[in-house]
Structure formats: structure tokens, C-alpha cells
Amino acid sequence: MSEMLRVENLKTYFDTRKGLVKAVDDISFTIEKGEILGIVGESGAGKSITGFSLINLIDSPGEIVAGRVLFDDRDLAHLSEDELSNIRGGEISMIFQDPQMSLNPVITIGKQLIETVIYHNPETSKQDAYKKSVDMLELVGLPAPEKRMASFPHQLSGGMKQRIVIAMALINSPKLLIADEPTTALDVTIQAQILYLMKKLTKEYESSLVLITHDIAVVAQMCDKIAVMYAGRIVEYGSNQDVLYNSKHPYTKGLIQCLPKLNEEKDRLFQIPGVMPSLLDLPEGCYFSDRCPYADEECKIYPETTTIEGRQVSCHKVNQIS
Amino acid sequence: MSQSQSNILKIENIEKIFQIKVSSFKSKNLYALNKVTLEVERGKTIAVVGESGCGKTTLGKVISGLYQAENGTIKFHDQDIAHKKPLQRGFLQKDIQMIFQDPYSSLNPRKKVRDILEQPLKIHTKLDKAERMAAIEKTCLDVGIDLSYLSRYPHQFSGGQRQRIAIARAIILNPELVIADEPISALDVSIQAQVLNLMMDLQEKLNLTYLFITHDISVVKHLSDYVAVMYLGEIVEYGTKEEIFSNPQHPYTKMLFAAVPDIDNPMISEKVLETGEIPSPIDLPVGCYFAGRCPLKDSDCEKEHPLLVDKGDRYKVRCIKV
């Protein structure tokens, strides 16, 4: 497989009145063609900011202060706004959590889809764009697509809206799709449909997908590779199998253990004590050390990233954890 | 007689109808609850599951008095509370408490934790100031709130801690029944386990009865004794947790379970694409409400609305194909 995107030592900092927030702090990963990368973590771990940073959607006071986002030999972190807006929605598109917020409430679905096509392909005729939009709505499994073209967003259910958002994201056949919690606002049955669809389309078109979510079970279903984020850094990064079923970082292990499982009875759930520290008030050394059962003196220094059994881990105690 | 003593709550044929305006002069009935019958056993946890719009939250609100039912009875301590507003319920109201989904909006931002917890005591008990403080301190100990937090405001806490405060407020009056409406779905994964464990510990300690409203099937599996599956305002399947999970009979329950992502069984089957969406609760069909999405459907299903059939051994199901 060939490489689609390479992120190198990306740092996105927010200079707030309360202090410097290192929302994304020195993260690196790659995505191949046709591959699905999952970024998991709790709220505030920096996973959404990572997604936004990929297409440089960072607003003041935030700024990408270092690192590179290499996509097709271009560094997206240092492109001009004009060049970026050609890429966004064209070669790279993004799906946001709340479909209600990503659609314009006063314009019909059809108009919004056609606009997306024509903006990136100005030579396309309106008829062709209309046809392409209807085909796309059909592809994402929306019933009666031609009728829906004339609908306004408020006339549709959450599941339908998210399908339209996905259709809009895919309509220009992007090489890379970034999906930020695409199914969090939806019911499980609709979630299963949407996830299935996204996986199928990614594999079919040999595009790539970055899936940002807090739901480990979703990641287990969808992703080839997984990056686990904690307090702005990637703590474990590797293949689906390695990270989920043979975790090496105590945080990843804890996260998986504390899920209630369908095929297993137990009286008490495993719990990770405490909460994720505020990014303004990070502990000395390893950020997880306050909550970690293995932590000791050594953990007063932030651990180097090491490669062990095929995945990258940032933990001093990696050899003690079975 | 022993049956009625072990039942803390007896809900019979409850109907909640909302008037929905369809034009300036015309309104239609939306049956949010359609003849729901349910018994809640003392000291047990009954989980109400279903997709959004199935009426599970409405059921919780009717029981807690936030809505009044149009028809039917809710027997609590041998009194019918279905049509009574909270004030008319008198002392009965103190025995039914609620925990809400979003701890960011369910706590008054202008009140200190101490005042939030004192309020129910002031309203429902004749305790003097010192006794109230003693009760608050005891409850704080039970739910794991540090006493120094009492003079802080809700915004100074994380989501998990706020939910602990909300739980403290619910249990401070020693209620018999606690209605928990999606109490963990707004929390991070590592915090969810903490709150679930806390709720289970409290149940044991204080002999609480829980009505647990959720869409998260794996949580239901973890903590419930009985499960009621709701669809479009009615219960379609009811039974013990063991029965429902080992041998779900209703096609809707099967569909719901199949859609749940599970880390131990990370396959999405193509079946999920055929599941469709929940129809509008206005203008319901004559026959089975689920017929439009059901794989087992035939012409019989559209003729008559199926009844909730008691199969004995506390198991009920609403489907003619079972």
C-alpha cells in the first residue's frame, strides 16, 4: 500500500489567558491508502483538535506551532488559505459530530450538495451536478433521493441528516475523509448502518479514513490502526489487534477493562481512579502517572516513545505489563 | 398478597398523549406512551431500553411526576399517582427521585453544592440546620464527594463529579425508587465505570430500586435484573435479564442487540443495512408498529395490533410470530 498522509511531530497549541494549552503535543502517525485509522481518547484528550489540525482548521488563539502534515507531497500545515480551501471538501473532507450543525438550515439539501460539486469542479453543469448528487444520496442509502433533494434539513431525521453529510463529504471522491464522532448523536441501529457504509465506501474507493471517537467498541469494528490519545499525546499507536487485544499502555488496558462487556458477567467494573488532568495543570513527568497503578519514581520523567511488539508505546513500565 | 408487597410500583395501561400542531387549525395526537404496563420489584433494577423517540424518557417523567398521564394508573404505596402533579403527591414525591442525563444542566449553576443538597431536605423534612448538615455529610461520604467541595459551585467540577453530586441529591432523602435517565451517557468511558460502580454500591447499601433508562445495551447487561424493551411508546418485550439476553424473541430486540458494537465481537454484518429507522409516532399503522422494519413480517402483521402476551415466568412479548 502507498502512503496517503504522514503527520510528523505535530504540535497545536492554544495561547489562552490562563496559560499555554498544548492540545496536541508532538504527535506522529501515517495513514496508507484504503486504511482506517482510529483516534480514541476521552474528551479533552486532543483528538478533535488533531482532526482539525490535519486540514488546518485551527482558529485563533490556537496555532499549529510545529510539525508537518504531508499529503501528496504538500505540507498542509503551511499552505495558504486559498490552497487549503481547494483541498477541503475536495481531496480531503470532514464529517462533524452533529449533522444538524453541519447543514445550512435555510437551504435545501439539493442546493447544498450541488454547490459542493460545483465549487470544486467549476466546469460541471448544474444538471450533471444534480445527477451526481442524487446518485450519491442513493449510494448512502437514503430512500427517495430525488424527493430529499428538495427537502430542508429540519424535515429529516438525525440518521438521514448524517447520511446526507456523509454524501456531501464523499461527493467529490476525497482521498481522505476525517470523521469526528460521526455516530455519537445517533441510535445504535443507525450507528451500525452508518459505520458499515463508511467502512464499505472507504475500502471500495481505496480512500482513507480517520475516525475520531471515544467509543472503543466502534474502533474495534472499524479500524485497521489505532492511536490512543491522552492529554494531548499519543500514548499507544499500532494495529487494531495489537492495541486492543494485547495492550501495552496501562491507560489503554484500563480503558478496555472498564467497559461493560456483553459476553461476560462480573459484579464490579474495573475502574481507573481519578480523572484526566487539565491541560493547564499537567502532572510532572508522565501525564497518566497520577492514575496509573504501575507509577513510581521513574515516571517523574515523561517516557520516550518506544516500539515494542509492533506498536509504539510511551510508558516506562512497558516491560512489566503483560 | 406477597406479589404486591414485593412490587414497589405498579404501572397499568399508562398513556401519555402530546398534541402536535400540524397546521394552524389542526393538531394530531402523538402517543408517547401507549398503554404501558410494568411492575417494578423492590430492591431490583429494571432497565428500560430502546431507540430515541421510543418513549423511555417520557415513562420516567410520568413516574416522577414531571408529566401527568392522560389514562392509566401508577400505584405507589397503594395510591394512584399517575395524574397527580408533584405538589399533589405530598410525601410520596420524596420517595421517587430522579438522576438526569446531563450533569451540566441538571445542577443549578448559581448554587453551591451544599445548597443543592440542602434544598430537598428543606422541602421534604423537618430537620433543623445541624441535622441537615449531618445528613449532607453522611450522603457526601456515601457517594465519595470530599466535604471541602461543599462550598464550591457546579462549574468547578468535572462531569463525573457533577454526576456524583446529582446522585447525592437524589439519594439524600432516602428514596425508595430512583429513576436514572441515561445517567452515564454524557460521561467519559473511564468515568462511566466509576459512576456505575457507585450506583451499584449505593443500591446494595440503601436498598434502592432503580428504573434505569438507557440506550446502552452493554450497561443494561451489566446492572439490570429485568429488562423492558420499548418501541414507539409501548413495551415489546419484557423479562429477566438472563431471559432477554440469552434468548431474545422479539425481532426488534434481536435487531437492537445485533447493532451494538462489541469489542469482543467486532464484526459488522451486512444485515444492519436492512434495519431502517424508527417511524414517526404520529399516524401509527393499524397493525404491528414494527412491521415496516421487521424481517419476519407478513400480511397478518398489518391486520391487527399484537398484544403484549404474558408467557409466564415474568416473560412478556408482543409479536404474533413468536
What are residue B141's phi and psi, to 5 degrees? -65, -40
Q: What is the pLDDT of residue A35?
A: 94
Q: CA–CA distance from A72 to each of A10, A26, A30, A120, B20 (Å)?
A: 17, 21, 13, 18, 53
Closest-CA residue in chain A for B144?
A274
Instruction: Report the alpha-carbon distance of residue A291 to residue A304 in Å, rounded.
Output: 19
Cβ within 8 Å, pair B261-A218: yes
Cβ within 8 Å, pair A187-B51: yes
Closest-CA residue in chain B for A251?
B190
Residue B1 binned pLDDT confidence (cut-offs 50, 70, 90):
very low
Total Cβ atoms within 10 A of residue A268 = 11
Closest CB from A189, A217, A272 relative to B262: A217
Q: What is the pLDDT of residue B4?
A: 47
Chain segment B77-136, per-residue pLDDT in tens: 888 999 988 888 888 889 999 999 888 889 999 999 999 999 999 999 999 999 999 999
Instruction: Report the alpha-carbon distance of residue B27 to residue B31 in Å, rounded.
Output: 13
Average pLDDT, chain B: 89
HSE, CB side, 13 Å, CA atoms: give it for residue B231: 28
Chain segment B279-300, per-residue pLDDT in tens: 777 778 888 999 888 888 888 8
pLDDT above 70: residue B2: no
Closest-CA residue in chain B for A155?
B280
Q: What is the pLDDT of residue A139?
A: 85
Q: What is the pLDDT of residue B5?
A: 57
Is the ipTM beyond the 0.90 threshold? Answer: no
Closest CB from B193, B223, B256 relative to A189: B256
Question: B211 and B63 in contact (C-beta within 8 Å)?
Answer: yes
Question: B4 and B11 in contact (C-beta within 8 Å)?
Answer: no
Q: What is the pLDDT of residue B3?
A: 46
Whether the pTM exceeds 0.80: the reply is yes
Give the closest residue to A249 by CA, choosing from A203, A311, A315, A183: A315
Cβ within 8 Å, pair B259-A214: no
Residue B273 binned pLDDT confidence (cut-offs 50, 70, 90):
low
Which position has the grid cell 453529510? Answer: A165
Q: What is the pLDDT of residue A101?
A: 86
In percent, the amount of chain B with pLDDT more than 90 equals 60
Q: B215, B244, B268: best mutation site toward chain A, by most A Cβ within 10 Å?
A: B268
Q: What is the pLDDT of residue A56?
A: 92
Instruction: Report the alpha-carbon distance of residue A311 to residue A306 in Å, rounded.
Output: 8
Q: What is the pLDDT of residue B268?
A: 66
Least confident of A73-87, A267-281, B61-75, B211-225: A267-281
Q: What is the pLDDT of residue B113?
A: 95
pLDDT above 90: residue B271: no
pLDDT above 60: residue B68: yes
Q: What is the mean pLDDT of each run of 10 residues along chain A (322 residues)?
A: 89 93 94 95 91 91 93 91 91 89 93 94 94 91 88 88 90 93 84 87 91 92 95 95 93 90 78 88 91 91 90 90 70
Q: CA–CA distance from B163 to each of A156, B152, B160, B168, B192 (Å)?
A: 33, 15, 5, 8, 10
Residue B202 binned pLDDT confidence (cut-offs 50, 70, 90):
very high
Cell of A86: 481547494
Size of interface A-B (CB pairs under 8 A): 130
Distance from B87 to chain A by nearest Cα, in Å? 35
Cβ within 8 Å, pair A261-B262: yes
Domains of chain B: 2-317 (3.40.50.300)
Q: What is the pLDDT of residue B70?
A: 92
Q: Sort out which chain B residues have CB atoms less than 8 A from A181's CB and list them.
A: none
Report which of residues A139 and B234 the model is more confident about: B234
At a CB cut-off of 8 Å and minimum separation 6, what does B99 contact? Answer: B106, B163, B166, B167, B170, B178, B179, B180, B181, B183
Is B190's Cβ below 8 Å from some Cβ in A?
yes
Q: CA–CA distance from A132 to each of A95, A127, A138, A139, B164 (Å)?
A: 19, 9, 10, 10, 51
